Amino acid sequence: MKLFSVFFLFISLSLQAQSNYTIGGRVMSEGEGLPYVSVYIKGTSLGSTTDENGYFEITKVPRGDNEIIVSFVGYKTDKKTIGVSKNVSNLMFDLQYDDSLDEIVVTGTLKPVSRLESAVPVEIYSPAFFKKNPTPNIFEALQNVNGVRPQLNCNVCNTGDIHINGLEGPYTLVLIDGMPIVSGLSTVYGLSGIPNSLIEQVEIVKGPASSLYGSEAVGGLINIITKLPENAPIVFADTFVNDWGEFNLDLGFKSKVGEKATLLFGVNYFTYDNLIDNNNDNFTDLTLQDRISVFQKWDFKRKENREFSLAGRFFYEDRWGGELQWNKSFRGGDEVYGESIYTTRYELLGKYQLPIDEKVNFQFSYSDHDQNSVYGNIPYLAKQRIGFGQLVWDKPIENHDLLFGAALRYNYYNDNTTATINADEVTIPSLFIQDEMKLNEKQSVLLGLRYDYDNRHGSILTPRIAYKFKPTSDDIFRVNAGTGFRVVNLFTEEHAALTGARDVVVEEELDPEQSYNININYLKKLYTKKGMIFTFDVSAWYTYFTNAIIPDYDTNPNQIIYDNLDGHSTSKGISFNVDAVLANGIKGTVGVTFQDVAQVENGERTRQILTEKFTGTWALSYKHFPTNLALDYTGNIYGPMRLPTLGNLDPRQEYSNVWSIQNIQLTYDGFDNIDIYGGVKNLLNWTPNRGNPFIIARAHDPFDENVEFDTQGSVIATEENPYALTFDPSYVYGPNQGIRAFIGLRYTLN
């Protein structure tokens, strides 16, 4: 019996030794060993990391077919399937760069071009970037983009806009698939509800782009490009919830309809219904919301691969914020203060290539926006309809890449405010031409000119010039200069004009703003022998504004005064971005912007309100491939900004402190088609009430029932009101939402 046991043990050990082998080899790139590369066997926990010379070894590999995965951030993943019946020591992999600089961009020149070949610097952000810090809408998702800041404009209803390089939201044009679908009212109220799961990429141009896109593209533009139906997953879903009670769901699918059509369908639903008042002012810290957005996109196959696509979106939102005891029975009354906003919005956009030999595209969009709002006891009922169509002829000839265009924009706006006596209805025709001339293999010049005719203001010309010098395949130097213009509608753009916090005074008929801009950009791609990749991107800009319309909060603390600036305003600064793939597998994006935005009137220079001196952003990621775990650490930091206080007695800080929002996330993708993620947002638990006695002035008296005024309308300091304040929710520069944990699940079937 003992002899049998020894024999059985010997046979077992022999079989085990025969079924566990060692696989070794080397990972190379451009003839050099690549260190710190993850090498693992799919479907197992077996794996290794290459040494400084690129060599690896995996032990205890089972007999049979094994799929070896080689993955390193910044390189294309490689894999091989080998049949294992003995030890292997000479397995070789040659990784290729995954060069994001060769991505195609369309925003800078209205035609597809490699990012490195574009004369206009365009920043690209992929869905992977936004997944590092999941958010329920594109508005919040932009918080980690250098030089771009989502700005909350009201402590009560939490509406906001997007600042680029310190310029306020109305200077930013937001496009969907290249069409100016988000403007006017929707700049403030319509940025939420675009399903993040439908986004292919986001392209950002900083600086005026009016020569191509007309009014509103003065500070820059953001182009949200949705997925082509044929490239989208068959089914996708993304949902998360946090411990504040916010719930978000993105859901969609694609389907072939007949032989020539492909449909992409997506829906976003977001809800939050939890009264939280951590700063104890009897007002909601976060607006309660119920929102749904439904999106469809159709792509049609045509002869000779000509383009034809249609997309539509329906958006509805019910949001309110205010005193904790508010409910809808108090809507529009003066007993309990609340700000309640019902938004209904329809959008349609499309692109059709004409069936002719020349490449001529017809692009169009239409939006219908209905706003039913009350701010305390002040109703704001508004309708806006924007129709846009343009023909674009792309005509390349020898050493010239020509673009001709004709556009027509229809704008209808009406509201119930005293400033709008009759509905504003205007049609603006436009013509534009662009020529990119190739001087030689390394240099090119782009010239552009746009002509718009607005019967309220006459003819408007906006030229631009861009110079590109590319001394090597990894270096590019660009200079862009041009002009921009903006026609202002205060009540679609300025939330503070509607809250009732201050009287609105428009001192004169407002002329269009004009800007003159120059931007210098240098981009460098660097590869090291240790397998590290760096991309450096530095820009400096200067913008000079005439006829600037900047809300004056200082002359009278009880008023917001609007007029054309009798002087000028400037925006200048420098920004620096670096993307890095380090040898240890960490991938990082770090950016910093220093800026100075100010106005000069009657010889006096004043810094613009709610504009930070500097901002920094970062996103650091690391994935441990054998365990399928990825860690993301994202954040931003903002320098001091001047805040809209209510006079000399106001005890709130005139300048904000340096503040930062930081987030961390852990993702597991070891299941087929499923990612599980979770983390913590606002790790530092920062809120703007730090260092302030209160945020909302006179939150206990939102209808100013106990405020005394003198004969000139100025507030009188009294024992009950020692700081001479009125109710004011516009003192806002960051979110009131503190630390919170979240967990989510993502499903994708390709």
Quick one: which H or E segment has residue 380? strand 378-397
Structural domain ending residue among the three candidates 62, 94, 126: 94
Helix (H, G, I), strand (E, B) or coil at 676: strand
pLDDT, residue 14, reads 47
Split into its structural domains, the chain has a count of: 2
Name the average pLDDT for the chain.
Answer: 84
Domain annotation covers residue 580: yes
Helix (H, G, I), strand (E, B) or coil at 735: coil
| Bridge pairing between strands 559-562 and 503-506 | parallel
Q: How many Cα atoms are found within 13 Å in the side-chain-facing hemisphere of 307? A: 13
Domain annotation covers residue 517: yes
Domain annotation covers residue 612: yes
316 has a pLDDT exceeding 70: yes
Averaged pLDDT, 691-713: 89
pLDDT, residue 221, reads 83
Averaged pLDDT, 473-481: 90
Q: Which residues pair with 738 in a beta bridge?
A: none
Averaged pLDDT, 381-399: 90
pLDDT, residue 338, reads 94
**Strand (E) positions, 442-566?**
443-454, 458-472, 475-486, 503-506, 513-527, 533-546, 559-562
495's CB contacts (< 8 A; 6+ apart) are 153, 154, 157, 159, 188, 730
Q: Which residues pair with 429 in a beta bridge?
A: 408
Which tokens in the block code for residue 541?
């800009």
Phi, psi of 139 (to 5 degrees): -60, -50
Averaged pLDDT, 511-520: 83
Provide the 10 A C-beta neighbour count for residue 233: 17
Where residue 20 sits, what CATH number does that domain have? 2.60.40.10
Domain annotation covers residue 553: yes
3-state secondary structure string across 278-347: CCCCCECCCCEEEEEEEEEEEEECCHHHCCEEEEEEEEEEEEEEEECCCCHHHCCCCCCCEEEEEEEEEE
pLDDT, residue 7, reads 47
pLDDT, residue 170, reads 73
694 has a pLDDT exceeding 60: yes
43 has a pLDDT exceeding 80: no
Where residue 625 sits, what CATH number does that domain have? 2.40.170.20
How far is residue 573 from each of residues 5, 108, 518, measured CA to CA in Å?
81, 21, 11
Report whether 223 contacts 106 (CB < 8 A). yes
Domain annotation covers residue 160: no
57's CB contacts (< 8 A; 6+ apart) are 22, 23, 24, 48
705's CB contacts (< 8 A; 6+ apart) are none
Structural domain ending residue among the three candidates 35, 64, 94: 94
Structural domain ending residue among the three candidates 43, 60, 94: 94
Helix (H, G, I), strand (E, B) or coil at 718: coil
Range of the domain at 538: 226-749
- The 10s digit of each residue's pLDDT in 351-360 is 999 999 899 9
Q: Residue 460 and residue 450: Cα distance in Å, rounded? A: 8
Domain annotation covers residue 181: no
Closest among 609, 602, 673, 662 to 635, alpha carbons compared: 662
Q: How much of the chain, in percent, has pLDDT values that exceed 70? A: 86
531 has a pLDDT exceeding 60: yes
Burial 670-692 (b: 16+ CB within 10 A, else e): eeeeebebbbbbbeeebbbbeeb
474 has a pLDDT exceeding 70: yes
Averaged pLDDT, 123-146: 87
- The 10s digit of each residue's pLDDT in 90-109 is 888 988 776 555 567 677 67
Domain annotation covers residue 109: no
Domain annotation covers residue 128: no
